[in-house]
Structure 1
Amino acid sequence: MSRYIPLTDIDSNAPALWIDTQAPLGILHDAAMHRIRAVTEALEEFANEQNENCEASMPSYWAKVLAVQLRDGCDLLDVLGKNLHQII
């Protein structure tokens, strides 16, 4: 596995955001959990919203925003899993 791999949810051919695959496992885990918790909390807030004046495009917008964070978290967990399999 390469030392640095780009996040998979990029919008260009030249990625600017990378994961250091040799980062300590705790750091990879913390970064993944931070992103996944942020998505979870935002979705919980969105689900609890009782605002009927919300524009129809807002759920689509938030879905895209949250999907980026969730994909980043999954990328980090993939690297963490590969590193753990090398140890075991």
Structure 2
Amino acid sequence: MNPHMPMTSNEGQTPVLLVATQAPLDELHSNAATRFLAGTQMMESLASLDISQAKGADVQQLAQAAAMLLRDGCDVMDVLGRRIRARV
């Protein structure tokens, strides 16, 4: 496994956001969990919002930000899973 894996949320042709694939397992888990929690909290805020009073652009921006956080968490969990399976 390469020492750094580009994250899915990279824009453009040159990836600038990377996962350190050799980071300690507990650090990978902690970072993924933080992103899942932040994304979940954003989605819970959206769920409790009175959509009839919300601006469409605001809802879309919150949803896109939550999706990016959740995708980042999935990327880190992918590395974590590969590392754990390699140990077995």
TM-score normalized with structure 1 length = 0.91
Letter in 1 for 2:20: D
- For residue 58 of structure 1, report the CA deviation from its aligned partner: 2.0
2:43·2:63 contact (CA, 8 Å) conserved in 1?
Answer: no
**Aligned partners of 2:67 and 2:45: how far apart in 1?**
16
**Aligned partners of 1:22 and 1:69: how far apart in 2?**
21
**Aligned partners of 1:45 and 1:54: how far apart in 2?**
12
State the SS of the aligned residue for 2:13. coil
Aligned length: 88
Partner of 2:64: 64
**Aligned partners of 1:53 and 1:40: how far apart in 2?**
22
Could you tell me which runs of 5 or more consecutive residues in structure 1 were left unpaired when the two chains were aligned.
none
Partner of 1:76: 76
Structural RMSD (CA) = 1.2
Structure 1, 62-71 or 34-43: larger mean CA deviation? 62-71
Structure 1, 12-21 or 54-63: larger mean CA deviation? 54-63
Identity of aligned residues (%): 34
**Aligned partners of 1:16 and 1:10: how far apart in 2?**
7
- For residue 49 of structure 1, report the CA deviation from its aligned partner: 2.0
Q: Which structure features the higher share of helix residues? A: 2
Partner of 2:87: 87
**Aligned partners of 1:52 and 1:8: how far apart in 2?**
33
2:29·2:80 contact (CA, 8 Å) conserved in 1?
Answer: yes
Question: Residues 27-66 of structure 1: CA distance to partner in whole angstroms, max 9, x if unpaired?
Answer: 0000000000001011112211236321122222212111
